[in-house]
């Protein structure tokens, strides 16, 4: 699974629903389904498809700690897809999302570190 480089590539991963909302393209869900037993890995893979590298370098899930917030609409698409693909029960979703957000933010920090140190 390749990282999205442009917003055009990001939009290829999304489908507009009849109610105007967004959902993840079925082929993207299928590509992460082999990792359904690891929601954090699914989240990191989906983040690489739903956000450009530049967005990930300068953002996190909450918009705290001096970073911009990743697009909330795409975060919701990612969250719904993770819960579906990984079959996370309703009662477990709030706690699971906290852990998943931490994993995505950690992945973004690592990406930022690599980007910042590759320039020197």
Half-sphere exposure of 102 (CA within 13 A, CB side): 6
pLDDT of residue 15: 83
Hey, what are 77's tokens?
């698409």
pLDDT of residue 52: 92
What's domain 7-118's architecture? Orthogonal Bundle (1.10)
Out of 24-28, 48-52, 67-71, 100-104, pick the least confident.
24-28
Q: Which of the listed ranges 7-11, 30-34, 63-67 does the model predict with the highest average pLDDT? A: 30-34
Regarding predicted confidence, which is higher, 95 or 3? 95
Mean pLDDT of the chain: 90
Q: Indicate the pTM of the whole model.
A: 0.88
Q: Which of 112, 119, 106 is nearest to 54 (CA)?
A: 112
């Amino acid at each position: 699974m390749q990282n999205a480089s442009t917003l055009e590539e990001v939009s290829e991963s999304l489908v507009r629903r009849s109610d105007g909302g967004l959902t993840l393209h079925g082929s993207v869900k299928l590509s992460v389904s082999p990792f359904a037993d690891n929601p954090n890995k699914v989240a990191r893979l989906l983040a690489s498809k739903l956000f450009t590298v530049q967005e990930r370098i300068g953002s996190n899930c909450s918009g705290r700690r001096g970073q911009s917030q990743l697009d909330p609409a795409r975060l919701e698409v990612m969250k719904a897809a993770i819960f579906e693909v990984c079959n996370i029960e309703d009662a477990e979703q709030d706690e699971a999302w906290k852990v998943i957000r931490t994993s995505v933010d950690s992945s973004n920090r690592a990406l930022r570190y690599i980007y910042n140190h590759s320039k020197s």
